[in-house]
Structures are given as structure tokens and as C-alpha cells.
């Protein structure tokens, strides 16, 4: 299934994308695409998609997961991205948190925050937890994943690296977490380590990679995180970006008002964001 949320910000309704690319309303089946519905997909068994109401028009798409408790990111998880940043591949996954208040819909504007001179892009594979995970083995890990989505891990590099402390401050500005367009359930993604990833800025291809080149794969990352914290249904893990970010260019290139960013992952859909400056 491709689960989604549609409607005005803060008033989204649950839905799914049918085989013909139409949005079907799920509000008569589940309250929202969030923790409770994702923890038990029993409601989807025998679901008659054709009987669900078709949503007219082209409504705004909201974040594909509601009520996320933890938004966890993995840093430097592609060797070639670490190299462009001038950093070594870490001996264990680098973990940092992104504020859940950064989460927006896949096509909502990205807002350059006040004082920013280095707002950057990062296409990433998002992993959505469906079953609580605590001290799970790598072999068990994927059974705790309900599905996958596209994430743009928007980053302010000066806030991240030049303002002391940890990376979170450069990752958590409002609008820095576009998620979606939909949550693709695990059964439709047979191998999360075989997905093409791409991103363009104003139509110019900047990132062109694959989840196959991750240093630490999805199963390892979920198992690893579960040794330090319990992962709950609706939690999101953003697993790192391939090379081609603005910081790695010579000279570096960062987003400016009026830019358009487009990105996608094979089988998971695409996003499109217009960039504007904070008022």
C-alpha cells in the first residue's frame, strides 16, 4: 500500500494511493496514518480499495506519517558523502535528532531561516517503525519496519558545524523535514538496499545515488538504534544521503529564495519544494 495524508496543514485526512494513481479516502477506516494504525495493519486485510471514496482534485499532501514521536537521523552513512565533507567514515553509525516540528508535507515550501547563508539539500531514505523495537537483532530488525518514504533532510551547514555543540540545531529549523509523498509499506519494497535516489535544484541533477552504497544498511541501523532506545510505531529514521550536497561542491552552493528542489527514490515517489526566505 501507499499510505498518505491529504488536506490543509493541521487538518489532514488519511488516504491511500490506488493502482490508478487516485487518492482514496481512508477516514472511514482509520483515524490517521499514525502510530496506532501503523502498529497493526489488520485493518488493511481484505480492504476493498475500490469501495473507498475517491478524493477529487489535487489536494495538498501532508507528511505521510502523523504524530511522530522521534525523528532520528544517521550521519555520514555513505562513504562518498563523508569524503566530500572531508570526514572519515565513522566506526559506528552517527546518530542525531531532528525536531519533529521540522516536519512538513512533501511539496510544502522550504523556508530559509533568519541568519542562514548555508541552507543545503539531502535526499534520504526514510524508515518508518511499525512495531516497537528494543534490543532487536539485525535479523529481526526489518520485521519492526512498517514501510519507507522519501525525506529531504534540509540542513543549515553553518548552524550545524560552526555554532558549536551538536548537529541538531542545523537540522531542525521549521520546514527542514519534508516527508512523503506517501508511506510505502514494507511488502512493496523487497530490498531497501536497492533503491535509486536522486535530487535536482532548478532542474540540474545534483544527487544521483543508491541505497546500495550505504555503509550501514537499514537492518543494521534499526537494530543499532534499538540498543539505545525503544523505537515506537510512527518513529522515523532518516538513513543518510549520497554525495552531491551543496556543501561538497567547489565552491559550495546553497539554496536561495526562488530555487526549486525536486527529489525522489525508486518506488517511493517524488517531492517538489519551492524555496523562500523567512519573513
Please state, in angstroms and as integers, the Cα–Cα distance from residue 135 to each residue in 142, 161, 227, following that order: 13, 32, 5
Residue 143: phi, psi to the nearest 5?
-70, -15
pLDDT at 82: 79
The rounded distance, in Å, linking the Cα atoms of 229 and 140 is 16
pLDDT at 164: 84
Where in the chain are the domains?
A: 66-277
Closest CA relative to residue 208, chosen from 18, 71, 65, 81? 81
8 A C-beta contact, residue 253 and residue 84: no
- 231 by DSSP, 3-state: which? strand
pTM of the complete model: 0.96
Superfamily of domain 66-277 in CATH is Fumarylacetoacetase-like, C-terminal domain (3.90.850.10)
Q: What is the dihedral of CA 78, 84, 90, 93, to 10 degrees?
A: -40
pLDDT at 128: 98
The rounded distance, in Å, linking the Cα atoms of 254 and 76 is 19
- 277 by DSSP, 3-state: which? strand
Tens-digit pLDDT string for the chain (279 aa): 999 999 999 999 999 999 999 999 999 999 999 999 999 999 999 999 999 999 999 999 999 999 999 999 999 899 878 788 787 888 999 999 999 999 999 999 999 999 999 999 999 999 999 999 999 999 999 999 999 999 999 999 999 988 887 889 999 999 999 999 999 999 999 999 999 999 999 999 999 999 999 999 999 999 999 999 999 999 999 999 999 999 999 999 999 999 999 999 999 999 999 999 998
What lies within 8 Å, CB to CB, of 41 at 6+ separation is 130, 146, 185
Q: How many CB atoms lie within 10 A of CB 8?
A: 10
Amino acid at each position: 500500500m501507499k499510505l498518505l495524508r491529504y488536506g490543509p496543514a493541521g487538518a489532514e485526512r488519511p488516504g491511500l494511493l490506488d493502482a490508478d494513481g487516485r487518492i482514496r479516502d481512508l477516514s472511514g477506516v482509520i483515524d490517521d496514518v499514525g502510530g496506532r494504525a501503523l502498529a497493526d495493519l489488520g485493518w488493511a486485510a481484505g480492504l476493498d480499495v475500490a469501495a473507498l471514496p475517491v478524493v477529487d482534485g489535487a489536494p495538498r499532501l501532508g507528511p505521510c506519517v502523523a504524530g511522530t514521536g522521534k525523528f532520528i537521523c544517521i550521519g555520514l552513512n555513505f562513504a562518498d558523502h563523508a569524503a566530500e565533507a572531508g570526514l572519515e567514515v565513522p566506526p559506528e553509525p552517527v546518530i542525531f535528532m531532528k525536531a519533529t516540528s521540522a516536519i512538513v508535507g512533501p511539496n510544502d515550501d522550504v523556508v530559509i531561516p533568519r541568519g542562514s547563508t548555508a541552507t543545503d539539500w539531502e535526499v534520504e531514505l526514510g524508515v518508518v517503525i511499525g512495531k516497537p523495537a528494543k534490543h532487536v537483532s539485525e535479523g529481526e530488525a526489518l520485521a519492526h519496519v512498517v514501510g519507507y518514504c522519501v525525506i529531504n533532510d534540509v540542513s543549515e551547514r553553518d548552524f550545524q558545524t560552526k555554532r558549536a555543540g551538536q548537529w541538531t540545531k542545523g537540522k531542525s529549523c521549521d520546514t527542514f523535514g519534508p516527508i512523503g509523498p506517501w508511506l510505502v509499506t514494507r511488502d512493496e519494497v523487497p530490498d531497501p538496499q536497492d533503491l535509486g535516489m536522486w535530487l535536482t535544484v532548478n532542474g540540474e541533477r545534483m544527487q544521483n545515488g543508491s541505497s546500495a552504497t550505504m555503509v550501514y544498511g537499514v537492518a543494521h541501523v534499526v537494530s543499532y538504534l534499538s540498543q539505545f532506545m525503544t523505537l515506537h510505531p510512527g518513529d522515523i529514521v532518516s538513513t543518510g544521503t549520497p554525495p552531491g550536497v551543496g556543501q561538497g561542491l567547489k565552491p559550495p552552493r546553497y539554496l536561495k529564495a526562488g530555487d526549486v528542489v525536486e527529489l525522489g527514490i525508486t518506488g517511493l515517489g517524488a517531492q517538489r519544494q519551492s524555496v523562500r526566505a523567512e519573513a
